Structure formats: structure tokens, C-alpha cells
Amino acid sequence: MPRLLRTLAVIGLMAATFVWYVTLPAVRDTSALEALTGNPVNGEMVFWASGCASCHMAPGATGADQLILAGGLALPTQFGTFYAPNISSDREQGIGGWSIAAFAHALQDGVTGDGAHEYPAMPYLAYVKMAPQDLVDLKTFLDTLPASATPNIPHDLTFPFSLRSTLGVWKLWAGQPDYVMTGDLPPVLTRGRYLAEALAHCGECHTPRDELGALRQSAWLSGAVIDAGKVKVPNITPAKLVWTQEEIFTYLTTGSTPEFDYAGGAMAHVVDNLAHLPKSDIMAIVAYLRAAHPIP
């Protein structure tokens, strides 16, 4: 019996060590990114398409103040409340002092500037699909925006989700999902898929999640409940979104529905963001939504 217990203890220790090792924060090679030159003009388009201001501006900010990315927005979930961080150009409280490598690790690897796991309230599993040039351009544009010395608000999470080390296991659970819409796509759908699945990360709100908060890929865009169960987000697959191409375009650019209603809440911010994009990009998103797999 003592030998058996020792053997089990050794096996348990080896298993724990293996899990610890494979769940350590891992980052990608960024040498190719560091060789690129940023274009702030394109970076601004990436900024609006990705909805950066919607989460990272100060709560209640309007007009030009929306470009002061001081953070502080509360994001309530069943795991606790997350608070959007300061991503302004401030070198102390924001990300102004970050290298492009640190920015890429946060945006695509889910690893913070100090090397810890990042909570998926920041949609890095969508941004991992962001094109390298777009990522560099986005950082270049962010560096042109006003600085704010507002300190970050610590997340208020329940145990064990308050332990960042658990996120290594979560990342293994959630995986590194590829595009949901696959196949030999025409250019308009390729662009629409990139905008909807990578930059605008539509699935983060419109797709239901499992018990650990990972997106259910098989139910892509079929509706969800967010804001700690208080807000129901609609199914926007063709099974439910039966508006015409023109009606969807009008909604995405003005917030007006065919039923003479208007977008509210977080979707109102999305409409405001999309207003900065060229018509061709909006039409590409429309084409993507109309071609998505219908889920009743």
C-alpha cells in the first residue's frame, strides 16, 4: 500500500506539472510584425471596425471624448464584473509605452503586458484572425489618440475565476477557433467574414456560450444572453434575420429597423462605429449575414 500511494503521488505530481506547463502563457513570434510600417489612416478604419471605443472609452463619454480611451466600463457576467482597461497613449496607465510585440500578445494571444493570462472579456479569440498589417496599423493609430492617466479598475470576480492561472485551462478548453464560414468564398464574402468574425467580433455577443464561457461554434450567431443574464441578444442567422439586403444595410448604417424601431444599447455603438466604414465594407457584412448558416 505505501508503494502504491507513493506511485500515485508521483503520477499526480507529474500530471499537475504537465497541466501547469501546457497552460503557461504562450506568445507568438512577432518578428514579422516588427518589420512592418504602420499606417494610421488604415488603423483608424480598423479601430472603428473593431469597436475599440465602445468598450474602452470612459463610461458616458460622447463626441471627441470617445477617443480618450481611459477605460472603466463595467462588463457584468456570471463570473463577476470585468472592467475595461485604459488603452490610451499614456505610457504609465495606458499602452503608449507598449511595443508592437506586447500589443500583439495582448490582442491575439491573450497575454497581458506583464506576461499574465488575459481574461477573454477582451475578444482575443476573434482578434487572433486580424491581419498583421491591420494590427500594426491599429497600434499606430492608437498612439495618435489622447493620453489619459486614469488608473485601471481591478476586476471583481468570484473564486476560482479570480485566479488568472485558471485561464490557461480555459484557453485549452476554448481552443484557437478558425473561421466559422469556410469554403471557397467570393471576395465580398471573404471581406465580410473578416469584418464580422475577426474585427467586429459579432459572435462575441450574438453566439451562445457554454458553462465556461466559450462560444458554441455550432450555434454561431443564433442569439445569446449577456450582461449577467439581463440582456437577450437576437439570432441574426438567416433563419431569423429575414430582412432584405437593403433593410440590413439601413439598420447597420442608421440603426433604423423595417418596423420603425431603432437600435439601442451596445448595438447603437456598433452602428456608430460602422458609420466610419466605406459602403463596400458594410455591404460585405450584409452579404456575410445573409450567407451565414441558418439556425432556427
Could you state, in order of their start, the residue ranges of all structural domains in the chain? 26-174, 187-291
What confidence tier does 71 reach under pLDDT thresholds 50, 70, 90?
very high
pTM: 0.89
Q: Convert the pLDDT of each residue in 114-141 to its tens digit.
A: 888 999 999 999 999 999 999 999 999 9
Res 21: pLDDT: 46
The residue among 296, 271, 121 whose CA lies nearest residue 209 is: 121
Label residue 172 by pLDDT band (50, 70, 90).
Answer: confident
* Predicted local distance difference test score (pLDDT) of residue 91: 95
Q: In the CATH hierarchy, which fold is given to the domain comprising 187-291?
A: Cytochrome Bc1 Complex; Chain D, domain 2 (1.10.760)
Residues 6+ apart with CB under 8 A from 145: 67, 68, 69, 88, 89
Note whether 221 and 236 are within 8 A (CB): yes
Cβ atoms 79, 156 nearer than 8 A: no
Give the lowest-confidence range in 165-174, 185-194, 195-204, 213-222. Answer: 165-174
Distance between first and last Cα of the chain: 57
Average pLDDT over residues 34-56: 96
Tell which wins on pLDDT, 174 or 14. 174
Residues ≥6 apart with Cβ < 8 Å to 58: 65, 68, 70, 71, 72, 73, 148, 150
C-alpha triplet 267, 272, 278: angle, nearest 5°: 120
CA distance linking residue 97 with residue 63, whole number of Å: 26
Question: Residue 12 — pLDDT band, cuts 50, 70, 90?
Answer: low
- Radius of gyration of the chain, Cα coordinates, nearest whole angstrom: 20
With cell 466559450, the residue in question is 214
Q: Which residues on adjacent β-strands are paired with residue 76?
A: 81
Tell me: pLDDT of 13 over 80: no
Residues 135, 198 contacting (CB under 8 angstroms): no
Which stretch, 13-22, 225-234, 257-266, 271-280, has highest mean pLDDT?
A: 271-280
pLDDT band at 113 (very low <50, low <70, confident <90, very high): confident
| Dihedral of alpha carbons 274, 280, 282, 285, sign | negative
